[in-house]
Amino acid sequence: MKENKSILDLQNFNLHINEHHILKDIDISFYRKKVTAIMGPSGCGKSTLIRSMNRLNDLIPGVKFGGQMHLYKKNLLEMNPILVRRKVGMVFQRPNPFPTMSIYDNVLAGYYLNGIKLSKQEKEQIVMDSLQKAALWDEVKDNLHRKGTFLSGGQQQRLCIARALAMNPKILLLDEPTSALDPKATAKIEELIIELKTKVTIIMVTHNIGQASRISDLTAFLYLGELIEYDRTETIFTNQKHTRTEEYLTRKFG
């Protein structure tokens, strides 16, 4: 697949949790300024795969990695996980702003947690820039010191995206970011994702086949921990190479 330069490359990547072989010989590359959707039935390893990319799976007892994962040609599996998470941000399925923090402090939470000192001017610039990137600034600029939980579900999810963007990551991981949202909020997040790919590489797990077809450039299909097919989204949806992919897309299972 000829795309622009890859940013993250997995070669023969395996993941075990105790005796369970969760991810099996995954070979895949992710490309700059593209949205990649990862699809597949429940329990196939989608979330586990993207959680490996910012080393969140390190926190699971009994987890073991095999193979290679390179971020800009550097072995991500040998990097300090804290540094990895600055470069690879993540937004989860349910909006999770820190409930005791204001909107302002939620955006800056990554800096606080990493002990990074900022001047007042730097803080204000980061908050404004991040909320603008997340298409939230105009809605909250007069309420920055109210709790993040004051916002609607869709706004809370955009606040979580702003929080991730504040650290200037190279990659943004989205784990079913709209599954807990109503259709109107979902549409706003989808518009935002399309805008954001000019600034950051996006890798998104989604159960929503329509969503993948609407907003992703590339689509990967996982089944039982194996990468079955990976190609441009248009090709995956119109000219699948594997029967299993076709069966999933026509909702014969999953």
Helix axes 183-196, 153-165, angle to 10 degrees: 20
pLDDT in tens, the chain (254 residues): 555 689 999 999 999 999 999 999 999 999 999 999 999 999 999 999 999 999 999 989 999 999 999 999 899 999 999 999 999 999 999 999 999 999 999 999 999 999 999 999 999 999 999 999 999 999 999 999 999 999 999 999 999 999 999 999 999 999 999 999 999 999 999 999 999 999 999 999 999 999 999 999 999 999 999 999 999 999 999 999 999 999 999 887 65
Distance separating alpha carbons of residues 65 and 57, to the nearest angstrom: 10
Distance separating alpha carbons of residues 247 and 224, to the nearest angstrom: 14
State the amino acid at position 106 in one-letter form. N
The pLDDT of residue 175:
97
Q: What is the pLDDT of residues 11-58, one digit of tens each?
A: 999 999 999 999 999 999 999 999 999 999 999 999 999 999 999 999
Token pair recorded at residue 199: 């600034």
Distance separating alpha carbons of residues 59 and 157, to the nearest angstrom: 24
Distance separating alpha carbons of residues 24 and 67, to the nearest angstrom: 10
The pLDDT of residue 1:
56
Contact between residue 190 and residue 214 where contact means Cβ atoms under 8 Å apart: yes
Would you call 188 helix, strand, or coil by DSSP? Answer: helix
Give the up-direction half-sphere exposure of residue 27: CA atoms within 13 A in the CB hemisphere: 3
The pLDDT of residue 251:
81
Closest alpha carbon to 29 in 72, 64, 62:
72
Q: What are the domain boundaries of the chain? A: 6-249
- The pTM of the full predicted model, rounded to 2 decimals, is 0.94
The pLDDT of residue 77:
93
Token pair recorded at residue 100: 């005791």
Tokens 């586990």 map to which residue?
A: 48
The string of DSSP letters for 56-81 reads: GGGGSTTEEEEEEEEETTEEGGGS-H
Distance separating alpha carbons of residues 47 and 225, to the nearest angstrom: 11
The pLDDT of residue 5:
87
The pLDDT of residue 73:
87
Token pair recorded at residue 150: 């004051």
CATH of 6-249, one of 3.30.465.10, 3.30.420.10, 3.40.50.720, 3.40.50.300: 3.40.50.300
Per-chain mean pLDDT for the chain: 95
